[in-house]
Chain A
Amino acid sequence: MRGRPTFVIGCVLVAVVFVVALGSLIWLPYDPADTSGGRLVPPGGAHLLGTDKLGRDLLTQLMVGARIALTVGVGSVLLGGALGVAGGLLAGFATRWLDDLLSAALDILIAFPTLLLAMLVVAAREASLGSAVLAIGLAMSGIVARLTRVLVKRVLAQDYITAARTSGASWPRVVAEHVLPNIWPTLLVNLALQLGLAVLAEAALSYLGLGPPPPNASWGRLLQEAQATVLTAPTGAIAPGVLLVVLVVGVNLVADGFRDLADPTRRRSR
């Protein structure tokens, strides 16, 4: 860990949001639907960060929002990562025509705008936490699959794969011992970056009203609701924005740290 201040800072930033999200499960200053606080109360006193235009406590909303952001982020990375890595491995090992077919499918999936995909999913299901995870996860799986495919192809072309094959190692063993360990560092870094992007995507969906509906207080929806009163009550817009930046920057710094930790050729050079 020493000599890696950015990784430590990233961990701290992510940990702050994690603690807030976990804390929201145990204790909240007010009920998220409690509108008794008076409209647009400035920060301080009974309401540490003030209230919004409906009189709900902003700190409460932000804490619930942290939980939503992390749930969607982690959920869509799990879904997109599982689908993407499986598809990418398949394409990486596939024969010509299957590889071409999968690659074409991936290109179409990637070319499809995430928001449009999200609208389709929301239209087919409903605006919910699950829909947001599904939409963002699906969009992510294309990118992860294409990366996995390239990584697998690159590793398979290496002499050490041929060397392992010439010494009599079977394909499953080669995949477990050589292919996965060699693509894992890059994949892990990418998945961590995707987590940051997923959090932003969820905020964007919620901003457009396609995210989880109230009383799920998403940061994106808080931003949208605070838009009208940004000049009179700036805290309502600034606080969720700052939290978004804290989480996304934290996740990206952690991703950079992962890269250094996972790759022994970099570990020494520091």
Chain B
Amino acid sequence: MTPVLAVEELSVRRADGHELVRGVSFTLGPGERLGLIGESGSGKSLTALAVMGLLPAGMTAGGSVLLGGTQVVGAPGRRLDRVRGRTASVVFQEPLTALDPLMRVGRQIAGPIRRRRGLRGPALRAAVLAALSEVRLPERVARAYPHEISGGQRQRVAIAMALACEPEVLIADEPTTALDVTVQAEVLALLDGLIAGRDMALLFIGHDLAVVAGVADRVVVLKDGSVVESGRTRDIVREPRHPYTRSLVDSAWALEGELDRLAP
């Protein structure tokens, strides 16, 4: 099977030459789920942006990123416009800033649907309502502005927008970090179900091992911009080889243990 996403020796440099991401490689086959884990500043989000060809101004990517067969590194913007949204789309960490504050939610969801499927008028309206019901949101949300709905609802809207593109890969950049723990579980379960139903590949970025382990079959552990360990999630949780991975696993267990101690 040809991978939908193949990253090889990816590097990201700042304008002053400082390397923020070094030699990151991984592949993602159709329907596969890969977790990208690391602390803040480890280069997780930059890796995701580099995959989409959307690095902040002044940063340059090196190496190779093949997204659905298209080389992203060094590609001109026009060619990337066709790849973005068709092959891959992104759910961001902070749902409030990921939605346009001055546009009603329905119109924001309609944008990618119109671009991807070419729907207009009543058909487009119906598709928007269908997309809302898929993420378990009531119809009235379509008429609301982002500040009028809750954080969990906003993230569902962002997920609906990303899925409306019907991408082959969904990139989720810490999609639940900004949410309450209870809402987090709901959104994760929702994301899990929606992706399974579509046979979509998932690149899940996070800093919380417990969360990443819950959705990803394989994980890549990043530290200071390089890969320190990668493999099947189960193997890594059971037998972490790198000291950093071990500390991640240990602290996840420590939290668990604290709960066990309080409620035996």
| Chain A interfacial positions (CB closer than 8 Å to B) | 95-96, 158-160, 162-171, 177-178, 181-182, 185, 263-265, 268
Contacts and interface: CB of A to CB of B under 8 A. Distances in A.
Interface residues of B, number: 38
B100 interface: yes
Interface string B111-145: 11001100000000000000000000000000001
Contact of A169 (B58, B102, B103, B115): B115
10 residue pairs, one from A and one from B, having the closest CB atoms: A168-B85, A159-B98, A167-B112, A167-B85, A166-B90, A159-B97, A168-B84, A160-B100, A159-B92, A163-B98
A170 to B, nearest CB: 5
Contacts of A96: 57-58
Given A159-B92, A167-B165, A168-B115, 11 more contacts: A163-B92, A163-B98, A163-B99, A163-B158, A164-B100, A167-B161, A167-B162, A168-B89, A169-B81, A181-B103, A265-B147
Given A163-B158, A171-B77, A268-B148, A181 B86 contact: no
**Residue with the greatest number of chain B CB neighbours at <10 A, chosen from A95, A160, A268:** A160
B54 interface: yes
A268 B144 CA distance: 11
Contacts, number: 88
B54 A165 contact: yes
B167 to A, nearest CB: 9
A265 B103 CA distance: 11
B112 to A, nearest CB: 4
Contacts of A162: 49, 54, 90, 92, 98
Interface string B147-177: 1100000000010011011000001000000
A167 B97 contact: no
A162 B90 CA distance: 9
A47 to B, nearest CB: 53
Contacts of A160: 97-101
B13 to A, nearest CB: 16
A265 B145 CA distance: 8
Contacts of B222: none
A163 B86 CA distance: 13
A166 B88 contact: yes
Contacts of A171: 77
B102 A264 contact: yes
A182 B82 contact: no
Contact of B54 (A166, A170, A178, A265): A166
Nearest to A165: B54
Contacts of B164: 167
Contacts of B57: 95-96
B7 interface: no
B161 A181 contact: no
A168 B165 contact: yes
